[in-house]
Chain A
Amino acid sequence: MKNKTSTNISSKQKNVLFSKSNYKWSREEESDSFAQKVKLFRQGKLSEDDFRRFRLQHGAYGSRLQMNYSMVRIKIPSGEISPEQLEKIANLSEAFSIGSAHVSTRQNIQLHWVQLEDVSEVMRGLAEVGLTTREACGNTVRNVMCSHFAGVCPEEAFDATAYAKAIARFFIRNPMCQNLPRKFKINFGCCNKHGLVRIADIGLIPVIMDGERGFKIYLGGGLGAASFIGHLLEDFTPENKLLSTSMATIRLFDRHGNRENMARNRMRYLVHEMGWDKFQKMVLKERSIVQMTTAASTAKLFDIGAEETEQLPKTEHTMVKLPILKEQVTTTESPSYERWLHTNVVPQKHWGYFTVFVTLGAGDITANQLRVLAGTIRDFSVESAARNTPQQNLAIRFVKENDLNEFYNRLASVGLANPGALTIASAVGCSGTTSCNLAITNSHRLAKEVQHKFLELGFDTDDDLRDSTIKISGCPNSCGQHEIATIGFFGGASRIGTAMAPTYTMLFGGSAEEQGELGKAIMRVPAKRVIDTICRIVEIYKQEKSNTETLKQWINKIVRGEGTGNMKSIENIKTALTSFTHLPPVEQEPELYRDYGTDIKFNAKTARGECAA
């Protein structure tokens, strides 16, 4: 067994400190009070509405058409999770859930199909390792995200992790945000490529200006039935205005947000309706009020220093794809290991250290896999933690070059060494009809099918496809983040005669990068034809592309109407695909009228949503 001490770090970087976060997000008493409330609700002493509000505030959603079961959403602030916490989640998933846990697109980990009466026990178990479900759902500040590259990204100005956690600590259980018009999302990035900063209510990119730390802050972005890209508040927000800017924004939303119309009450609608200029002025004005009126004792609650880690000196490294490793690392003995290195491992800014990605299928991982992974992290990651990624994978950082092979073997022993994590093969899929009340289609299974097929076809080894993404939602609500995918899909139903078929609306050209755009809807595709359609798009691309152009670049060009050859515009590609996307009558192709994972006729059933986003 390796011991993880600073001696693991090369002499050049001896001064690096990995201060371990041991912040306790949980409160034991919340588990007891949850158990109490469930009893009162069952006895009819608590109204359904009051109970629902309480339940959501404590991170439990109703499961699909079965309100006796819950989806328990565990918040992982900044995405950083320890081996002990992973093991606890493994045990809880076996005892109270389905024996697998699910990594969401917002750095939560979800346990599905938990009996409502057992939720308090899950909470109690989580509290033993400091984790909480508090405010993982409901109209409040949701899990605060942070790029999984924060701290290791060669392009970042500084590590935003401590700031993300400080913001999360400040707002959790804060009376200021217990009853917002709607949920509120805060995302920290590392550089302008990684992190979902432009699709959050508040998105922040760390920058240094004249030696001073600060952020570029984007406001009013978000995905959903109607999506918007966030607006830049000002060129530079110094770090000492981070808290006041966040507070000001939340206060404005609380005061002016729409509480009447559920469908239009995210802050992005407020910004849209009011106009950005006006909203921007109001935020800046509110911020000065906040700065003048916030008590020093309050401001003290925002404590970045508590968990700050020291920075390593920047090296020559840039994040390029492997293999760029030294000879001894890339052996030719095992092609599958080499393929994995190529698609799942990236060098860090710290010389000799790598970030390893664990490929999951639509974010699912079994209890046993979690346990083996926890042990592997303990043995090989110098920071002894994992970060969950919005691509529904797990990133393990600070793995030494010489340990990569053994790391791979350990993962392979429990089926966790699939390649493709950083490629088009790692399709994202929300929970869809596996558990969500609002779902129309089984987006979850479709994402797994896409991954399976693409790995079989070797798409992950094709560098032309590498930077493209596939993301799938089971309804227009965007939990699968289909609007920031190169090729995105959201589920719906199409009627031909009296028969209903599961179909997806396909979108092109989305991206969450700082300069990114939201995807444009192209056409509807029968669920069972989605994979063929993507494969056909890849074929056309291969015929049409100009030399070094990647699939992503080629698609973006077409969306902008700047395509060349036979594929100049969206119209051209639509025409080329109609034979795949055409939906014949049910008698001709009954298979197209059944969704994945079921042999019964498709029927779009939904129930009242609790905003599973």
Chain B
Amino acid sequence: MCRLKVKLEDKNVDDSNNDNLLSIICTIDTLRTLIKKKLVRVVDVRKAEDYQQEHIPTAVSLPLAVLLEKDTPEGVVDILESLGISDKMPTVIYDDTFGALAARVAWTFQYVGHTNTALLEVTFSHWKNLGLETDKNINTFPKTQHSLNINYDIHADAPYVEMVKEQPNKILVDSRERLNFLTEHIPGAKNIPYTMVGSINNSSSILRKPEEIKRFIYNRGITSDSEVITYCGSVGTLSGLTYYALKLAGVKNVKLYSKSFREWKSLGKPKEEFKDANYWDLSAE
């Protein structure tokens, strides 16, 4: 079972609730209110130089690459502590890569037990385009304590993924684009490209509407009771976004194979390939 303490139905933070529990997606309004009340830690996961130029007020910098260097549960807890994030602190994460980098960081926080984590509903560019406030300060906060409480339910490793084939109730989802998927993928995987659940061109939100995602995955035979494991090409960013899209659509049991296809290949595990067509030649790229 999933132990995420997110409130699917409530988009806004309930002030009377001392926990200030965030939903999966944090709206612009909610974030601005929380910033004003100094009740939130905003995490910018873009490159350090981009952060230095400007960022959302009060945001701290955690480039994805920095997190990936310390990507062990203990390492991540260290990071949380050094960013001044305590166990219950509402944490909102944003990027400028249609939400994929933010998703990977958010998932990692939740994996080590920081459940109260959300994705900002828009990218930084969109925030800027709306003319919202930014600042240039290099924000730091006093070091805090954070406990380690690993949520094994949202993680999958290679041996777990390997077993999926024999278990029809578990569904493996490849989040890469179609042509990459056709070329090679983990046997038995279904392809739901991140472009299908994200709304990379409707920048008013990084994810499509929950009803839409629900309909898409229903067509694919995925219901809220399915167990779904997502993966992508390298470090779990695109699949991180898909992870949250599925959560948003109400799928209770979703896991991220964070080491994804890169590890799978390096382990020499079996692949499914489709060599009977020259589909790459249809691309105008």
Contact = CB atoms under 8 A, between A and B. Distances in A.
Interface string A510-524: 000000000000000
Interface string B13-33: 000000000000000000000
Contact of B281 (A38, A117, A434): A434
Given A112-B282, A364-B284, A596-B278, A121 B193 contact: no
Interface stretch (B55-63, B81-89, B212-220, B239-247): B212-220
B189 to A, nearest CB: 12
A595 B278 CA distance: 10
Interface stretch (B44-52, B113-121, B155-163, B175-183): B175-183
A120 interface: yes
B186 to A, nearest CB: 16
A97 interface: yes
A361 B275 CA distance: 23
B283 A366 contact: yes
A435 B109 CA distance: 43
A369 B220 CA distance: 29
Interface in A569-613: 595-598, 600, 605
> Size range of the interface on B?
20 to 34
A503 interface: no
Nearest to B181: A113
A486 interface: no
28 contacts: A35-B219, A65-B277, A66-B274, A98-B283, A99-B177, A99-B283, A100-B282, A100-B283, A100-B284, A112-B279, A113-B179, A113-B279, A117-B219, A117-B221, A120-B219, A121-B219, A366-B285, A434-B277, A434-B278, A434-B280, A442-B281, A444-B278, A444-B282, A596-B278, A596-B281, A598-B275, A600-B275, A605-B276
B281 A113 contact: no
Nearest to B219: A117
Interface of A: 35, 38, 63-66, 90-91, 94-100, 102, 112-113, 115, 117-118, 120-121, 360-361, 364-366, 369, 371, 431-435, 442, 444-445, 448, 595-598, 600, 605
Contacts of B215: 121
A90 B195 CA distance: 12
Given A66-B276, A115-B191, 13 more contacts: A35-B219, A38-B219, A63-B277, A95-B195, A99-B177, A100-B283, A113-B182, A117-B219, A434-B279, A444-B281, A596-B278, A598-B275, A600-B275
A99 B285 contact: yes
B35 interface: no
Nearest to B195: A94
Contacts of B278: 432-434, 442, 444-445, 595-598
B200 interface: yes
Nearest to A119: B219
A445 B281 contact: yes
Contacts of A65: 276-277
Contacts of A435: 277, 279, 282
A112 B179 CA distance: 10
A362 to B, nearest CB: 8
A369 B284 CA distance: 9
Contacts of A102: 282
A371 B280 CA distance: 21
Given A35-B219, A117-B220, A94 B200 contact: yes
Contact of A95 (B193, B275, B277, B282): B193
Contacts of B283: 98-100, 364, 366
A365 B220 contact: no
Contacts of A361: 284
Contacts of B285: 99-100, 366
B207 to A, nearest CB: 13
A364 B281 CA distance: 9
Given A117-B220, A118-B216, A120-B219, A98 B282 contact: yes
Centre residue among B200, B221, B275, B284 by max chain A CB count within 10 A: B284
Contacts of A64: 276-277
Highest count of chain B CB atoms <10 Å: which of A35, A118, A448: A118
A91 B201 contact: yes
Contacts of A448: 281
Contacts of A595: 278
A102 B280 CA distance: 13
Interface string B186-224: 000001010110001100000000000001100111000
Given A94-B200, A434-B282, A118 B219 contact: yes
Contact of A431 (B178, B200, B282): B282
A120 to B, nearest CB: 7
Given A112-B282, A118-B216, A66 B277 contact: yes
Contacts of B277: 63-66, 433-435
Nearest to B275: A600
A365 B282 CA distance: 9
Contacts of A63: 277
B275 to A, nearest CB: 7
A99 B191 contact: no
A339 B200 CA distance: 36
A38 B280 CA distance: 27
Name the residue in B179, B219, B220, B221 with the highest tally of chain A Cβ atoms < 10 Å from its Cβ. B219
Interface string B68-91: 000000000000000000000000
A301 B226 CA distance: 49
A95 B219 contact: no
Nearest to A365: B284
Contacts of B195: 94-95, 99
Nearest to B200: A94
Contacts of B201: 90-91, 94, 371
B67 to A, nearest CB: 28
Interface string B247-285: 000000000000000000000000000111111111111
A98 B177 contact: yes
Nearest to B216: A121
A113 B219 contact: no
B282 A360 contact: no
Interface string B164-184: 000000000000011100100
Nearest to B285: A366
Nearest to A371: B201
A173 B201 CA distance: 34
Contacts of A445: 278, 281
Nearest to B208: A95
A364 B277 CA distance: 17
A415 B231 CA distance: 32
A176 B179 CA distance: 40
A562 B221 CA distance: 66
B37 to A, nearest CB: 38
B215 to A, nearest CB: 7
A394 to B, nearest CB: 12
Contacts of B200: 94
B204 to A, nearest CB: 14
Most B-side CB within 10 Å, residue of A38, A91, A95, A448: A95
Contact of A366 (B177, B179, B193, B284): B284
B74 to A, nearest CB: 39
A359 B282 CA distance: 15
A371 B284 CA distance: 14
A598 B276 CA distance: 10
Nearest to B274: A66
Nearest to B193: A95
Q: Which 10 residue pairs across A and B have the least CB separation, nearest first?
A: A364-B284, A597-B278, A445-B281, A64-B277, A65-B276, A100-B284, A117-B219, A434-B282, A366-B284, A94-B195
